[in-house]
Amino acid sequence: MGSDLYALDFDGVLCDSCGESSLSAVKAAKVRWPFVFEQVDATMEEWIVEQMYTLRPVVETGYENLLLVRLLVEIRVPSTRKSSVADGLTVQEILENWLQLKPTIMADWQEDRDSLVDLFGRVRDDWIKNDFSGWIGANRFYPGTADALKFSSSEVYIVTTKQSRFAEALLKELAGIDFPSERIYGLGTGPKVKVLQQLQQMPQHQGLRFHFVEDRLATLKNVIKEPALDKWNLYLVTWGYITQKEMEEAEGISRIQLVDLPDFSKKFK
């Protein structure tokens, strides 16, 4: 094997799952809050999915898609409002203030993170079971990433907030890669900073160069705060769920390297 270890985020680095996660969120939100979605027709569903492409950069964990979908309905349909923030709220304001809005709407709606995570997973499982090709087709790998992964000579791990079984299914069915399940650290394996610490402490990884590739600036900033992770080379991709503002901020952080898609494919091989 090569002398490099790559820890790769999945959504936004390897795979564009925004269409699938938005459609799954609409399906799950209809189950969770049927009274909210009684007034949502097909045209409004299309509008919701369009807005989710704009809002995708704020999503750290999949269940947040459900919250965003419901909030969008409350913005458009005043009679459904149960939150204290929806009146006059814009999509741009959600993008800029999500960390403050999320706990507010969770409290207003009396929602629970674990049950939303569970529901989101079950709805995806049902979709996969009943319409596997439709679920697969709602995702796509970014150009060149599957080949880069397939032919890499480095030690590669996937570190993601997606549930591992979904990442593994997409790698196999969409990218044609039988990726070892023990190399996928998905939702429930702990924060990414802890996973990176585990990887660098494994005896078989001593002497390797460590690289972490992400599309969330906030995640890389959390890594920088951990002195124990000073050995990691950090990369922020320019093609994932990232805003122009975040890319500009990253350019001022010496520890972070911005990488575009062609450079990633070259570097990785």
What fold does the segment set 4-16+140-268 form as a domain? Rossmann fold (3.40.50)
State the pLDDT at residue 1: 46
pLDDT tens digits, one per residue of 56-75 = 999 999 999 999 999 999 99
Residue type, 203: P
Which residues of the chain fall short of a pLDDT of 70?
1-2, 269
Contact 212, 237 (CB under 8 A): no
State the pLDDT at residue 269: 65
CB atoms under 10 Å from CB of 263, counted, come to 14
Find, among 14, 10, 101, the residue nearest to 55 by Cα. Answer: 101
**Domain map (residue ranges) of the chain:** 4-16+140-268, 18-134
Instruction: Mention every residue, 6+ apart, whose C-beta is less than 8 A from residue 170.
Output: 15, 17, 136, 139, 141
Map residue 141 onto helix, strand or coil.
Answer: strand
Is residue 202 exposed (0-12), middle (13-18) or buried (19+ Cβ within 10 Å)?
A: exposed
Contact 13, 157 (CB under 8 A): no
State the pLDDT at residue 170: 97
